[in-house]
Structure 1
Amino acid sequence: MNKIVYILLAIVSFCVVSCDKIPENGDLDGNWQLLTIEEHNSGEVVSVKEQKVFWAVQLKLIAYRSADNSYLSRFVYDGDSLFLYNFYRHTRYEDYLLTDSSTTELEKLGIHGISGRFAVESLDKKRMVLNSNDSRLVFRKF
């Protein structure tokens, strides 16, 4: 009887442990809504909360959603900086790699060009602030 209990306990514990991926990025993992973009050149602070721009972070991939487009990118996060690269425009049938370095397509997401390098100004379970040479982005987690 004890053998059966131990075997069942082992099976249950393996199932519980193997069901989910372990978060690699600490508080960065999860769903973020972009609230404001502060452009350093002009000093202008633009509220984008109503535009519903979202970043979903998991493992080594970020999915970006706005009202009109979806994008994907790879990233490297080391605790105090975030580097975004290999942006793809996500469509229903295919993903297209963005290669034009002068594109303005990602600016509504707070990203200039086809890569982004941000200093992580603050990050906790509810709020994130990213700072680049071009802009400062403020997010809330939901």
Structure 2
Amino acid sequence: MKRYAWLIAIGCMLLTLAACDWESSDNGNLDGFWQMTDVDTLATGGHENVKEQALTWSFQGCILEVRQATHKGTPIYIFKFSHEGDVLKTFNPYLNNRDMEDPLVEDVKDIEPFGFSALSQQFKVLKLTGSRLILQSPTLRLTFRKY
């Protein structure tokens, strides 16, 4: 009888595992939490160290979350993104509002502090390792460290 109990228990465990939905991502080194450290303005050659501003980008699945992590209650923005080869495209930015429906961002000024100059933005991926990310838009070069 003990044999059957063990077989039934193992069978139940296997059925439970088979019913689980495993979520995976093909984002490789891009997945995770990134802190913006430097912003370079391409037209003027300007450089700004923004590490103390705690501007963060977080990639998971097909979602990008950007926020300023220094103060509680600062806005959080959610984007869809695609990453193919050396091109990162961000689009459909929403303001994360847990109390109401998340509104679509309509003014690019809301997301400019995070390195965006358009609501749908394309970046060239200049460098992507497990610890460093460098993106370039038509106007800016953004440098991140994995946090």
Please give the TM-score of this superposition, normalised by the length of structure 2: 0.81
Question: What's 1:98 paired with?
Answer: 105
- Going from structure 1 to structure 2, the CA distance change for 1:87 and 1:6 (only over 3 Å counts) comes to same
Note the aligned Cα RMSD (angstroms): 2.5
* Counterpart Cα distance in 2 of 1:140 and 1:12: 40
Question: What's 1:141 paired with?
Answer: 146
SS of structure 2 residue aligned to 1:113: coil
Of residues 103, 119, 125, the one that matches 1:120 is: 125
For structure 1, the 5+ residue unaligned runs are none
* Counterpart Cα distance in 2 of 1:38 and 1:116: 17
Question: What's 1:84 paired with?
Answer: 90
Deviations 1:103-122 (A, max 9, x none): 32212101112121001111
Deviations 1:11-50 (A, max 9, x none): 2696499475212211111111111111112211111111
* Counterpart Cα distance in 1 of 2:11 and 2:39: 51
* Counterpart Cα distance in 2 of 1:118 and 1:77: 10
Of residues 41, 45, 48, the one that matches 1:46 is: 48
- Going from structure 1 to structure 2, the CA distance change for 1:109 and 1:16 (only over 3 Å counts) comes to farther
Question: What's 2:67 paired with?
Answer: 65
Q: How many residues align?
A: 140
* Counterpart Cα distance in 2 of 1:16 and 1:55: 34
Deviations 1:90-140 (A, max 9, x none): 23423210234xx32212101112121001111111111111111111111
Q: Percent identity?
A: 29
* Counterpart Cα distance in 1 of 2:94 and 2:116: 13
Please give the TM-score of this superposition, normalised by the length of structure 1: 0.84
Question: What's 2:30 paired with?
Answer: 28
- Going from structure 1 to structure 2, the CA distance change for 1:123 and 1:70 (only over 3 Å counts) comes to same
SS of structure 1 residue aligned to 2:138: coil
Asked which structure has the greater CA Rg, the reply is 2
